Amino acid sequence: MSHKATIRLLLSSLLGFDPRRYRDNLDQSPAALNIVDFRGPTRARLTLFNDTSHYDLTPDTPRARLSPAWCRQDEGSDGSPWALWRQDDNGNRALVRTLPTRAQAEAHLQEFESRHHKQTYWIAPSADEPPTSSS
């Protein structure tokens, strides 16, 4: 596992193009899987790129087996709002919007991630300071 900047440097070096043109040649989603096949110390080829199937099918929370107190806190029904945060490639974090429930925040998160932006998005209980990204 590695960060996107490290992957950019490795892939551009192995595939032989200028790393400054990485986004022009290849672009990837956060937490994407890439596979490089080596036929020798100097011959590499990209056999899988930007596979995100491992997080496309995130299982639902088993709410029927959770205590009511857990569900209330999780859904934000106690009146606590949830925040949707964004972090760009330079590490700058910004609040995108605050939503009344976790379910609404998750829906907005999925909408932003489906657009394949270059930023990282996550949700957290609303607070004054941005929490750390989980990715």
Supply the pLDDT for residue 10: 84
User: Which pLDDT band, with edges at 50, 70 and 90, does 132 fall under?
Assistant: low
Tokens for 27, please give them: 């672009």
What's the rounded Cα separation, in Å, for the pair 79 and 13? 50
Please state, for a pLDDT cut of 90, what percent of the chain lies above it.
0
For the chain, what are the domain ranges?
4-54, 67-125
63 DSSP 8-state letter: G
DSSP bridge pairs for 40: none
Residues 14, 20, 23, 29: what is their CA dihedral angle, to the nearest 10 degrees?
Answer: 70
Tokens for 118, please give them: 């270059």
Q: For residue 9, which of 30, 20, 52, 38 has the smallest C-alpha distance?
A: 20
Helix, strand, or coil here: 5?
A: helix
Supply the pLDDT for residue 75: 47
User: Which pLDDT band, with edges at 50, 70 and 90, does 52 fall under?
Assistant: confident
Supply the pLDDT for residue 74: 46
Q: Determine the CATH number of domain 67-125.
A: 3.10.20
pLDDT digits (tens, 9 = 90+) for 90-129: 888 889 999 888 888 888 888 888 877 778 888 888 875 5
